[in-house]
Chains A and B, each alone.
Chain A
Amino acid sequence: MRARRLLGSLVFGLLVLSSGCGSPAPSVGGKSLMTEAERRAEYQEAVAGYAWPLPPGRRFPPPSALPAPEEPTLYEVGEGANQVDTFWICSWMGAWLSTRLSDPAAARQAWSWVEKADRTDLHTKRYYDPRDVWHREILAPARTGRIEAFQEFYDTSCGWGR
């Protein structure tokens, strides 16, 4: 009788484990989701190891300045690092927009960094752009003086980074 109860408990336990219900760390695409603290830690780590400079006078904000969610949230791995790349790209986009008519040397430097955005982890790992919108519709026209799409992207997608 005791053995049957034990067996029953064991089977029930295995069922719970295999269902994944309520498990604290489910996965997306085989990768773990992160808590808010883990997202901030990922952000901090990405800032500490960032290889490229920001425009003069700019610094990465501390993790405590990250936009806070309005409710408990889990993040797919990479979202903390995404915010570092977004800040970096938007900072150079802003630098180019603010110098392109007044300071050619600064604008050239800013543009050289904007062109490296496609080498960031955001673009190479977590920005899915099969139509190559980034190059064809944003950078290419801006290079020839048609900055509308570039400006619109900056206005609508660079709230974090201004």
Chain B
Amino acid sequence: MRFISTVAATLAVAVSVLVAVPAAQANQLYNVSGTLNTSGTLVQYSTWRPHSSGVSDFTITNQVGCNGNRWSRWGLRKDGSSSQYTQSIQINGESGNGRFRRASDGSTTLPSGQYAINGRMANETGHFCDNAWAGSIWL
């Protein structure tokens, strides 16, 4: 009897967990890559991705840099608008990551919608510039 009630309780918990996690919460990790501009100008990428309300993390695994000065700055836009929706994340060194925050209130919960990436690197002139980058975004 105790066994049956334990099984029933376990099933009830499992069902409640399944019900409590709607499909809309299932965001995804995307591999991303591209090339920034060595003049330091902001680049708006044109690939849009859907997002269900929640956090968005950005990771750089292949950093840009000129003359050993290796950093990049990233943000997200939304709404088909040209302005950036999130605060910028600056990633220093060979690799790193950060979590996007809404520019309006600093919240890490980004509402459902579609998002695209903004990026920039240092304004450098030199012979040893690497403006190709790669990483991933959880969106």
Interface, chain A (partner B; CB < 8 A) = 15-16, 19-24, 26-29, 33, 66-79, 82-83, 86-87, 90, 122, 126-131, 133-134, 136-137, 149, 152-153, 156-161
Contact = CB atoms under 8 A, between A and B. Distances in A.
A161 B43 CA distance: 23
Contacts of A149: 24, 112
Contacts of B111: 152, 156
B38 A160 contact: no
A75 B115 CA distance: 15
28 contacts: A15-B127, A20-B38, A20-B131, A21-B127, A21-B129, A26-B37, A26-B131, A28-B35, A28-B45, A67-B82, A67-B83, A68-B82, A69-B83, A73-B43, A73-B44, A73-B82, A74-B37, A74-B41, A76-B34, A76-B45, A127-B50, A129-B49, A131-B28, A134-B50, A156-B112, A156-B113, A158-B80, A161-B80
A29 B125 CA distance: 22
B78 interface: yes
Interface residues of B, number: 40
A56 to B, nearest CB: 22
Contacts of B80: 67, 82-83, 86-87, 90, 157-161
Interface in B40-55: 41-50, 52
Contacts, number: 135
Max chain B C-beta neighbours (<10 A), residue from A66, A70, A131: A131
A76 B129 contact: no
B11 interface: no
A27 B36 CA distance: 8
Lowest 8 A-B CB distances belong to which pairs?
A: A160-B80, A157-B113, A133-B50, A156-B113, A78-B46, A86-B80, A159-B79, A76-B46
